[in-house]
Amino acid sequence: MLVKELRKKKFGLDKNELDLIILNEIAPGEDKSFLTAHEDIKLDDGQMKRIELNVDCRKNGEPLAYILGYKEFYGRKFLVDSRALIPRPETEALIDLVKELNPKSILEVGTGSGCIAVTLALELPDARIVGLDNSENALMLARDNAIEWRLLEEWDHPVHSSEWFGLMYSDLLGDLKIRTEVIVANLPYVDKKWDWLDKKALAYEPAEALYAKDEGLALIKKLIHQAARRKCTKYLVLEADPCQHEKIAEYAKTKGFDLVKTKDFGLVFKFNR
Ligand SMILES: C[S@@+](CC[C@H](N)C(=O)[O-])C[C@H]1O[C@@H](n2cnc3c(N)ncnc32)[C@H](O)[C@@H]1O
């Protein structure tokens, strides 16, 4: 079958998504103009079978990013798979907020795919950045992304670090001794009881990357508590659903952090010592 014939088929799928699935099969890495310019390419049986399988997966609710194997974040492509959360557009606000602070050292807690740590390393080349996670699987994916973006070498294993960029296993801040000006975190904050959740779609992503107890605030509160004991940390930049911001700000205040800015889902706290 020719690409142009396939593009016209009624799969019951969004046209843009179908194009991306076809493109990923015939020319991964190219942009969508490639399809229009190469509509007369003939697809072989193997390609057709894979495309049809991916269309079925998508129709069954699998996130497009997992099917394609990548997701764009802050204008760059990141490898994604079921080892970690798919980067969300709302998380891009954290990058803007940290960039405004222009720190020389950053710890990212809950790095997942590494999208925040890698993006900050590329946007703030003078800063030292360490990404932490308590999921070995997620850390391996973050490492793949750091290699893709040339922040690490293939042989940096298992504690993946260079002078300016590192990835480490840690349960939140644990007993980490690394000094840092800014802590940034997009920790799990979803409350399982929220009735607007698309639980079918979310079921593809690791539950430990999404949900937290105490109305979604358990991990965020624990991190604030830990950060308050670190003398060197000036700013805490967090992501949470806007419906949680007030409660987080109240709790942070009791630990010495003043809310100085919000942007979409992002919050910036300054230590008031
Ligand atoms: C919401 S995901 C964010 C991933 C990525 N930073 C992003 O913004 O797309 C939260 C991440 O926090 C990690 N995480 C959950 N509990 C943690 C803990 N106690 N210590 C460290 N990381 C944790 C999960 O493994 C997951 O990768």
Query: Do 56 and 87 fall within a single domain?
Result: no
Range of the domain at 128: 83-271
Per-residue pLDDT, 92: 98
- List CB contacts of 110: < 8 A, sequence separation 6 or more: 132, 133, 185, 186, 187, 188, 209, 219
Name the residue of 208, 217, 244 to mutate for ligand 1: max ligand atoms within 8 A of Cβ: 208
Residue bearing the CA closest to ligand 1, atom 13: 110
- Segments of the chain with pLDDT less than 70: 155-162
* Distance from residue 62's CA to the centre of ligand 1 (Å): 21
Is 72 part of a structural domain of the chain? no
Cα 60 to middle of ligand 1, angstroms: 26
Q: What is the reported pLDDT for 266?
A: 98
Residues 129 and 162 reside in one and the same domain: yes
Q: What is the pLDDT of residue 157?
A: 56
Q: Are 130 and 232 found together in one domain?
A: yes
47 and 126 in a common domain: no
Q: Phi, psi at residue 251, to the nearest 5°?
A: -65, -45
Asked whether residue 42 falls in the same domain as residue 98, the answer is no
pLDDT of 32 = 86
Residue 92 falls inside a structural domain? yes
Asked if residue 53 and residue 174 are part of one domain, the reply reads no
Give CA separation, 166 vs 107, 161, 195, 260, in Å: 10, 4, 38, 28
Q: What is the reported pLDDT for 10?
A: 84
- The answer to the question of residue 75 being in a domain is no
Are 183 and 221 within one domain? yes
Q: Are residues 118 and 243 in the same domain?
A: yes
What is the token pair recorded at 69? 């194997």
Alpha helix (H) residue ranges in the chain? 3-8, 15-26, 33-37, 45-59, 64-68, 92-101, 115-123, 136-148, 199-202, 218-227, 245-254
Residue 71 lies in a domain: no
Q: Which CATH number characterizes residue 135's domain?
A: 3.40.50.150
pTM reported for the whole predicted model: 0.94
CB contact set of 65 (below 8 Å; sequence gap of 6+): 71, 80, 86
Q: How many domains does the chain have?
A: 2
Q: Could you tell me the distance, in angstroms and rounded to a whole number, from the CA of residue 28 to the centre of ligand 1?
A: 28
